[in-house]
Structure 1
Amino acid sequence: MKTKKLNVKKIALIGMLGALGGLLMLIKTPLPFMPPFMDFDLAALPEIIGGFALGPVAAVLIVIVKLIVKLAILGTSTAFVGELSNFIVSVAYVLPAVLIYDHHKEKKSALQGMIIGTIVCTLAAVISNVYMIIPFYANMMAGWSVDTIVDMCHAVCPLVNDIWTLALFGVVPFNLIKCGVTSVITFIVYKKISVPLKKFVKAGM
C-alpha cells in the first residue's frame, strides 16, 4: 500500500514537472546571431531537476509529458519531426547528467553530469538538425531548399555558408548556451528545490 501511494505521488510529480516543461516551451526568445528558427527556452529546467530528484526513468517521462502538453496546446507544425528531434535532444541532455548524478549524489557529480549532458546534447542536436530538421523544413516549404535556409542564416551570421557551418556556428553555440544556462540555474537552485520535491513524494510513507 505504501509503495502504491509512493508511485502515485511520483507519477503526479512527473506530470506536474512535465506540464511545467510544456508551458516553458511556449515562452521563447530569439538569441542574437543565432539561426532565426532557433528560440531559447528553459523547458529543460524541470526535466533536469526532476531527473536529479526522481531518477533517469522519471527524467525521460517528464520529457514525454512536456511534449504531450505542447502538442495538446499548439499541435504540431512539423508533422511531429520537430517533436521527435526535441525528444532526442532533451533526452541526450538530461539522461547522461542524471545517470552520472544518480551514481554519486554529490555537487561535483551533478556538475560533471551536466557538462557531459551538454556535450552529448550538442552532438545530438547537430545530427538532428543536419539530417532531420533542416532537410524537413527545406522539403516542407514550396520552392525552398537547404541553400535557402543557409542563406537566411548567413544573413544573421556571415560565417554560415553551408549546412555544416550552420551546424558549427549556429546549432553548436545555441545548444551550448541553452544547456549552459539551464545547468547553471539547476546547479544554483537544485538543493533548495529538491527538498520539497522529495518530501512530497515521501509524504505519507
Structure 2
Amino acid sequence: MSIYKIDKKITKIKGKITTKKLVMIGMFGAISTILMLFEFPIPFTPTFVKMDLSELPIILGGFMMGPLAGFLIIVIKIGLHLVLKGTTTMGVGELANMIGSATYMLPAVLLYRKLKTRSSVALALILGTIVTSVGSIFENMYLIFPVYSKLYGMPIKAIIAMGTTTNPYVTNMFTLMCFSLFPFNLVKYSVVSIITFVAFKKLGFVRRNLIK
C-alpha cells in the first residue's frame, strides 16, 4: 500500500473523529471506568462473576457517535481499570468484559444508526441484549473459562463446583452456561438497556448540539 493511500485513510479517520468527539469519548470512557469499579454479585452466579453498569456510557456513546467511538470507550474503560485496580485474573476477566461490551454495543449501534427511528432504539437494545447473552455461552465455554483454567492451573470441575454452590441447577459446564452465565448476562444487559432507553431520550440536547 502506498504512503499516499495510507495518509488518505488516516485523514478519513481523523475526519470522522473530531476534537469534540474525542473529548466526549474520553469523558464516557472515564465514567465507564468508574461504573466498572462498583461491581456486585448476583445470587445465582459464581462468586467470581460480578455485575456492573459500565456498558451504559459505551452504548450511549456508540448511539451518539458511532461504533468506532463505542469501541474506543471500551478500550479506555479497560485500560483505566487496569491502571487503577490492576487485574486479579491475569487479564482474562478484562478480556471477557471487553468482548461482552463489544458484542452488546456493535449490533445495537449498527442497527440504530441504520434505521435512526424512535422505535429502533428499543429494537437495537433488545438485539444487543440477545446477541451478547447468547454469545456469552460460547465465549465463556470455549474461550474464557478454558484460558482461565489453564493460566491458573484450576480444573474446570473446580470452576463448575463454584457455580454449584450458588446454583444447584449447575452440574456441568453446559448447565453452568445455561442456568448461570446466560441469565446473568440477560439480567445485566436488560437493566443497562432499560436505563439506556430512558437516558437516551433525555440526552436529546447533547445529541443535537454536541455530537455532529
- Global fold match (TM > 0.5): yes
Q: Give the CA deviation at 1:110.
A: 1.0
Q: Give the CA deviation at 1:199.
A: 2.1
Q: Distance in 1 between matches of 2:168 and 2:118?
A: 40
Partner of 1:32: 43
CA shift digits 1:123-171 (9 cap, x unpaired):
22112211232223333445x3111111111111110000110000011
Q: Which moved more, 1:77-86 or 1:49-58?
A: 77-86
Name the aligned partner's letter for residue 159 of structure 2: I
CA separation of 1:13 and 1:36: change in aligned 2, threshold 3 A = same
Aligned to 1:51, the other structure's residue is in SS state helix
2:160 to 133, 150, 161: 150
TM-score (norm: length of structure 1) = 0.90
**Structure 1 residue runs without a partner (length 5+):** none
1:124 to 135, 141, 145: 135
Partner of 1:67: 78
Aligned to 2:210, the other structure's residue is in SS state helix
Partner of 2:112: 101
Whether 1:175 aligns to 2:174 is no
Decide whether the 8 Å contact of 1:14 with 1:62 is kept in 2.
yes
Q: Distance in 1 between matches of 2:38 and 2:208?
A: 27
Q: Distance in 1 between matches of 2:191 and 2:116?
A: 21
Q: Give the CA deviation at 1:196.
A: 2.4
Whether 1:88 aligns to 2:94 is no
Name the aligned partner's letter for residue 172 of structure 1: F
Decide whether the 8 Å contact of 1:53 with 1:194 is kept in 2.
no
Q: Distance in 2 between matches of 1:71 and 1:125?
A: 22
TM-score (norm: length of structure 2) = 0.87
Q: Distance in 1 between matches of 2:208 and 2:65?
A: 8
Partner of 1:110: 121
Q: CA RMSD in A?
A: 1.8
Q: Distance in 2 between matches of 1:194 and 1:18?
A: 20
CA shift digits 1:35-62 (9 cap, x unpaired):
2111111000000111111111111111
**Structure 2 residue runs without a partner (length 5+):** 1-13
Aligned to 1:77, the other structure's residue is in SS state coil
Whether 1:10 aligns to 2:12 is no
Q: Distance in 1 between matches of 2:211 and 2:119?
A: 25
Q: Distance in 1 between matches of 2:181 and 2:18?
A: 38
Partner of 2:5: none
Identity %: 40
Q: Distance in 1 between matches of 2:142 and 2:26?
A: 31
Decide whether the 8 Å contact of 2:108 with 2:127 is kept in 1.
yes
Q: Distance in 2 between matches of 1:58 and 1:97?
A: 14
Whether 1:200 aligns to 2:203 is no
Partner of 1:136: 147
* Aligned residue pairs, count: 198
Decide whether the 8 Å contact of 1:15 with 1:65 is kept in 2.
yes
Name the aligned partner's letter for residue 157 of structure 2: D
